[in-house]
Amino acid sequence: MSTNTTYAVTVAPDEAEIQCRSGDNLLDVLHRADVDIASYCGGAGTCGGCRVIVEGGEARTARGATVQEGDECLACRAEIVGDLQVRIPAESRRADGEVATDEPRHVLGAVRPDREIEVDPLCQVTPVQMTPPSLADNTSDFDRTCRALQEATGREVFTASHGALRRMAAQLRDSDWEPIVLWLDLQTHGEIIDLLSPGAAGGAYGLAIDIGTTTVVADLVDLRSGASLGRAGEYNAQQRCGEDVISRINFASQRDDGIETLREAVTGTINQLVAQLTDGAAVSAREIRVAVCAGNTTMIHTLYGLDPNNIRRQPYIPTIGNVPPLRASELGLDVDPDARIFSFPAVGSFVGGDVVAGALDSRLTEREDMTLFVDIGTNGEIVLAAAGSLLACSASAGPAFEGGGISCGTRAVPGAVERFRVSPGGDEVSYRTIGGEAPVGVCGTGLIDLMHALLRAGVINRSGRFNTELETERLRATEEGYRYLLVPAEETRDGRDLTIETPDIRTLLRSKAAIYAGIRMLLTNLALDESAVGQVLIAGGFGTHINLEAAVAIGLFPDIERDRFQFVGNSALRGAREALLSRLCMREARELAGGMTYLELSADEQAAAFMDEFVAAEFLPHTEMERFPSVADDGAPGP
Ligand code: FES
């Protein structure tokens, strides 16, 4: 059959009809039409998230089998061979809620050594006065502007963008030779990108952007006053290419158009945010002159269209750690085409610019107390600040704390269970969901709370094994181990039991063990132990709602006084805003990244020690109970 033959895919219950070609991949077809369907593994056929029910027509699977009415198949493994009718079941939806962009009060109230930022942005706004040209002074418009800028700034070398040059003659004369010059500080020189008339309002805005693997959040900032004009967040459209950085890298390497697809997805998300923010603030996107991005190394590679493949291959080498600022027009961002997009430098393949931005915001090098900075996503990125020096590592926690890879897991969306109480013996379970809605799954903070609740109730022991002696109907044997009923079908939103199973507990144990082992590795490399830690800063959205007692009790965090923990929220975004508004802060960020020592946990000299720490931490809370004195006597059952 010719690949030019077109067919129609009808999607229920969306009532969508999508035209496609013979041979097209069904998941690609659904994504192109923006159908909400999960694809956690990015189409690798391993997560099972994209399951659809065929209601008519037929498709061909990757193994050459034909699926017809009544069959189920994975959309990512199905090829279009004719008209097709499919139904997307509820469990194949992403269930994304709105992206939370507000910092909770306890984060805003956190004691941070705040420092006044003097507004001195990466895009400078400099009023100049120049003598108009004459027969006695026939200097060109560009040289005359540079001369005025040199006098005003003391800086020697300026260039101008093509766009600025094209407008310059008219703008200088319109401004009566007293323009406001917008120029970018590109370290080696300044680049003039536009001229404004004297007294003109607006015209100079910037974006601080936190590019997360899951969400992208941006602040629109007035470059003259430093005032924030709005904040907006969206899910990163790259999610359809995989849930975590590894599946995104796989996506990039396994498809001819993989890198470009990822690039278009993340720039599309940023452009969506630009549209929301500029609409809300009634400014033109053309007036956005500069952006600063904080993101992990893979996100920054995909933003710039760089091949991320070697990030995941030993010896884990990124194409570049410190990307030079590129023009918005080169990246496809809908702002001033001459605007420059800066990024925070990365420390390594798995300690990225987002961590550097967080370290900048948290003033890690200025803290007197020994400080641990922990950002938990699919990787646990951990920095230990001691006497001005910084040691960092990345521990692969997997997506469990974001609800991924856990049978009952979900994002922190309305309806996600975030708190549990389990009666001794496990007969009764009470819970609280985000927004008080009917349960849809258990989010990362809920999973931590659940582990603690199950341990205290004696449903699992300190090895994470189910207590099979229990006489509760909630616990059932399965082929893969045991399954414990959390919420019965009649209480859940989709009418299916919410349960936790033996493999889930194993995954959670490994995730929390990886984080704790990473913390221990940093400490032991400096010949320290937990008692030396003066402060623990928990960054990112995950930490914000965490039950700290539960997190310590399961051995995710060290057992130190609870008032030494602080939740610092989206420190990456705040760091990006500081660098946007302050050339000094951007310089500090570069120095900070350059001075941070990266401990590669899989390197020969570290790997064995890390594995020892990891294995010791695969226990609740730890095989060495003396490390957790406050939880040693909580009555939970031993191994
Ligand atoms: Fe299809 Fe994962 S199995 S996207």
Residue 186 has pLDDT above 90, yes or no: yes
* Residue 405 near ligand 1, beta carbon < 6 Å: no
* Residue 49 near ligand 1, beta carbon < 6 Å: yes
For residues 620 and 412, what is the distance between their CA atoms, to the nearest angstrom? 24
Encode 354-389 in three state secondary structure.
HHHHHHHHCCHHHCCCCEEEEEECCEEEEEEEECCE
Residue 545 has pLDDT above 50, yes or no: yes
6-92 shares its CATH topology with 205-353: no
With beta carbons less than 8 A apart as the criterion, state whether 470 and 459 touch.
Answer: yes
For residue 476, how far is its CA from the centre of ligand 1 (angstroms)? 28
Q: Which residue has the higher pLDDT, 12 or 107?
A: 12
Nearest by Cα to 182 from 153, 209, 154, 220: 153
pLDDT digits (tens, 9 = 90+) for 157-181: 999 999 999 999 999 999 999 999 9
Pick from 35, 47, 247 the residue to mutate for probing ligand 1's pocket: most ligand atoms within 8 Å of its CB.
47
For residues 606 and 307, what is the distance between their CA atoms, to the nearest angstrom? 28
* Residue 74 near ligand 1, beta carbon < 6 Å: yes
Confidence band for 3, pLDDT divided at 50, 70 and 90: low
Nearest by Cα to 581 from 282, 324, 207: 207
Say what the pLDDT of residue 481 is.
85
pLDDT digits (tens, 9 = 90+) for 289-304: 999 999 999 999 999 9
Task: Out of 3.40.630.10, 3.90.700.10, 2.40.50.140, 3.10.20.880, select the CATH number for domain 123-196.
Answer: 3.10.20.880
* Residue 50 near ligand 1, beta carbon < 6 Å: yes
% residues pLDDT > 70 (the chain): 95
For residue 64, how far is its CA from the centre of ligand 1 (angstroms)? 17
Q: Which residue is listed with tokens 């910037």?
A: 206
- Which residues 6+ apart lie within 8 Å of 16 measured at CB? 10, 33, 35
- Number of other CB atoms surrounding residue 62 within 10 Å: 13
Residue 105 has pLDDT above 80, yes or no: no
pLDDT digits (tens, 9 = 90+) for 363-416: 999 988 999 999 987 788 999 999 889 999 999 888 888 888 888 988 888 899
For residues 36 and 515, what is the distance between their CA atoms, to the nearest angstrom? 32
* Residue 76 near ligand 1, beta carbon < 6 Å: yes
Residue 112 has pLDDT above 60, yes or no: no
Confidence band for 83, pLDDT divided at 50, 70 and 90: very high
For residues 632 and 630, what is the distance between their CA atoms, to the nearest angstrom? 6
Say what the pLDDT of residue 108 is.
47
For residue 203, how far is its CA from the centre of ligand 1 (angstroms)? 45
* For residues 123-135, average pLDDT: 97
Indicate the fold that domain 205-353 takes in CATH.
Nucleotidyltransferase; domain 5 (3.30.420)
With beta carbons less than 8 A apart as the criterion, state whether 414 and 97 touch.
Answer: yes
Residue 111 has pLDDT above 50, yes or no: no
Q: Which residue has the higher pLDDT, 401 or 276?
A: 276
For residues 548 and 176, what is the distance between their CA atoms, to the nearest angstrom? 62
For residues 294 and 303, what is the distance between their CA atoms, to the nearest angstrom? 11
Report the predicted TM-score, pTM, of the whole model to 2 decimal places.
0.92
* Residue 48 near ligand 1, beta carbon < 6 Å: yes
Confidence band for 103, pLDDT divided at 50, 70 and 90: low
For residue 498, how far is its CA from the centre of ligand 1 (angstroms)? 22
Average pLDDT score, the chain: 92
For residues 302 and 280, what is the distance between their CA atoms, to the nearest angstrom? 28
Say what the pLDDT of residue 638 is.
66
**Alpha-carbon distance values, 260 to 212, 255, 326, 579 (Å):** 18, 10, 17, 28
For residue 26, how far is its CA from the centre of ligand 1 (angstroms)? 11
Report the side by side order of strands in the sheet with 326-327.
Answer: 228-235, 215-222, 205-211, 288-295, 340-343, 326-327
Say what the pLDDT of residue 609 is.
95
Residue 209 has pLDDT above 90, yes or no: yes
How many Å is the maximal CA-CA distance in the chain? Answer: 101
With beta carbons less than 8 A apart as the criterion, state whether 448 and 504 touch.
Answer: no
Q: Which residue has the higher pLDDT, 420 or 214?
A: 420
Superfamily of domain 6-92, CATH level 4: Beta-grasp domain (3.10.20.30)
pLDDT digits (tens, 9 = 90+) for 37-74: 988 888 888 888 899 999 999 999 988 899 999 999 99
* Residue 124 near ligand 1, beta carbon < 6 Å: no
Tokens of 600: 């590669």
Nearest by Cα to 621 from 500, 464, 481, 506: 464
Residue nearest to atom 3 of ligand 1 (CA): 45
For residues 298 and 222, what is the distance between their CA atoms, to the nearest angstrom? 29
Tokens of 576: 């990006």
| CA-43 nearest atom, ligand 1 | 4
For residue 268, how far is its CA from the centre of ligand 1 (angstroms)? 23
Question: Residue 417: helix, strand or coil by DSSP?
Answer: strand
DSSP calls for 80-120: EEEEEEEE--GGGS----PPP-SPPHHHHTS-----PPP-B
Checking phi first, is residue 516 left (phi over 0); if not, alpha (psi -120 to 50) or beta? alpha
| CA-75 nearest atom, ligand 1 | 1
Query: What's the CATH number for 362-399+509-627?
Result: 3.30.420
Residue 113 has pLDDT above 60, yes or no: no
Provide the H-helix boundaries in 196-331.
Answer: 245-254, 258-281, 297-303, 328-331
Residue 557 has pLDDT above 80, yes or no: yes
% residues pLDDT > 90 (the chain): 79
The residue extents of the domains of the chain are 6-92, 123-196, 205-353, 362-399+509-627, 402-496
Say what the pLDDT of residue 581 is.
97
Count Cβ atoms within 10 A of the Cβ of residue 186 and give its class: 0-12 exposed, 13-18 middle, 19 or more buried: middle
Say what the pLDDT of residue 2 is.
54
